[in-house]
Amino acid sequence: MVRKIAILGSTGSIGRNALKVIDALGGDYKVTVLTAHNNVELLAEQVRKFKPQIAVVTNPEKVNAFKSLLGDCETEILVGNKALSLAVSSEDVDIVIAAIVGAAGLEAILAAAKAGKILAIANKEPLVIAGSLLTKIAKQTGAKIIPVDSEHSAVFQAMQAGDAKEVNRIILTASGGPFRGATAEQIKNATIEQALAHPTWNMGKKITIDSATMMNKALEIIEAKWLFDVPVEKIEVLVHPESIVHSMVEFVDGSVIAQMSAPDMCLPIQYALTFPKRVKGITKHLRLEEIGKLTFEKPDMKVFKALKIGYEVAKTGGTAAAVFNAANEAAVKEFLEGNIKFVNIVEIIEYCLNKHKVKTNATLEDLISADNWARIEVKECLNKVM
Ligand code: NAD
Ligand code: MG
């Protein structure tokens, strides 16, 4: 049976890799929905090649350019963020690859869960903001959530070796990013270029900055908490600069199951599509003798304060994670536009969290309003300083 796939954010780093994987998987997998925000040149190219039923341009300002680039075509064109929810709920979709960056993907992910689709989630921010709600909806509708984030895919794969009740610890690995081993003083004024120079992964700009602050790992702790329904006390982080062990699960008997592969997102994307089967893919196979040595170290939470804050936010719950995430998204944007220093990113997040009055048992409206509040706070706090 042909599996019909929607890729939300098909022009991004994950989206482009997903298309490579689907192309290589062949006729059993068909792309039916593609979406992009700004890069309509690439979206038009993708639509010409994959001939989906629907293409969504989420930025309304770009739709005319898209239409003229595309010319005569049978693909239906939809516009705006709301159209994502409509597109993923279509009967022509079995699997949704969520690869939008940031909270912008939240509504569509919830819609896909409500429609009972298989959700292959790379877009971690919606899980961080609304993991409680999302997992509840998925339980009700039978929507299956399969992680694509490499660490969570590794944990998901390792979990197949035992029962969820037998899990003792989840050990998330982290590359350590470009500033591993640095002092707070050394990275305080890091440039955009230095922060974007990731040693092992080639990714979109936002997640690359998140790796430099280790905010990415902080978000991933919260992501793991929801995906695997484990208390945060059972989630540990180990820095592993080779990025070969993508994460590990320790079971009650002391066995540790690790998933290893070359650092290539095509593998977790493919596993999410073919699960529970494994098929030959395009990821280069490992030669451990060429790597020689794998190393692990404790992260330095004094230098990478985001990680420490992440643990606290994960324990607090409610609207805290929505503020944590939104303040980060807004601060990273300001950093990438050259408006703040590297050190300010985490300072701003802390400032917002300290000011926020956490609401427990948060509804979707509470979470969205906490997200909006944090973004306004970031702007206001910048106006005060500048
Ligand atoms: P990217 O910046 O390369 O691509 C983002 C995609 O989202 C693009 O297709 C863009 O058109 C779309 N987009 C951007 N803003 C949008 C908006 N406002 N509304 C709708 N669509 C919008 O990002 P990426 O590196 O591919 O990351 C995507 C997600 O996957 C992120 O949540 C990231 O944390 C996660 N992730 C990425 C990697 C990786 O290797 N790149 C690994 C693990 C997890
Ligand atoms: Mg990851």
Q: What is the pLDDT of residues 174-200, one digit of tens each?
A: 999 999 999 999 999 999 999 999 988
Atom 19 of ligand 1, residue of closest alpha carbon: 104
CATH number, domain at 358? 1.10.1740.10
Q: What b-and-e string marks burial along 38-65, b requiring 16 or more CB atoms within 10 Å of the CB? A: ebbebbbebbeebebbbbbbbbeebbee
Closest approach atom of ligand 1 to CA 210:
34
Largest CA distance in the chain: 61
Better pLDDT: 386 or 232: 232
Tell me the C-alpha distance between 179 and 198, whole Å: 9
**Ligand 1 pocket, residue 125 CB under 6 Å:** yes
Distances (CA, A) of 4 to 32, 241, 248: 6, 37, 31
Is 274 within a domain? no
Kindly state if the Cβ of 307 falls inside 6 Å of ligand 1. no
Q: Judge whether residue 335 has pLDDT over 90.
A: yes
Q: Please tell me whether residues 230 and 340 are part of one structural domain.
A: yes
Looking at the domain assignment, is residue 364 inside a domain? Answer: yes
* Dihedral angle over CA of 224, 225, 226, 229, nearest 10: 110
Check whether residue 131 and residue 182 sit in a common domain.
no
> Percentage of residues in the chain with pLDDT exceeding 70?
99
Are 67 and 118 members of one domain? Answer: yes
User: For the domain that residue 71 is a member of, what is the CATH number?
Assistant: 3.40.50.720
Rounded to the nearest angstrom, the distance between the alpha carbon of 76 and the centre of ligand 2 is 33
**Nearest ligand, measured from the Cα of 208:** 1
Alpha carbon separation from 352 to 128, 129, 218, 310 (Å, rounded) = 17, 15, 16, 14
DSSP-assigned letter for residue 173: E
Give the chain's domain count: 2
- 46 in the same domain as 178: no
- 109-137 pLDDT, tens per residue? 999 999 999 999 999 999 999 999 999 99
SS3 150: helix
Work out the pLDDT band at 296, boundaries 50, 70, 90: very high
> For residue 383, what pLDDT is reported?
82
Q: Is the CB of 203 under 6 A from ligand 1?
A: yes
Question: How far away, in angstroms, is 219 Cα from ligand 2 center?
Answer: 9
Please state, rounded to an integer, the average pLDDT across all residues of the chain.
97
Looking at the structure, tell me whether residues 172 and 141 fall in a common domain: no
Tell me the residue range of the domain where 221 lies.
165-262+299-385
Q: Looking at this protein, which amino acid is placed at residue 95?
A: I
- Could you tell me the distance, in angstroms and rounded to a whole number, from the CA of residue 57 to the centre of ligand 1? 15
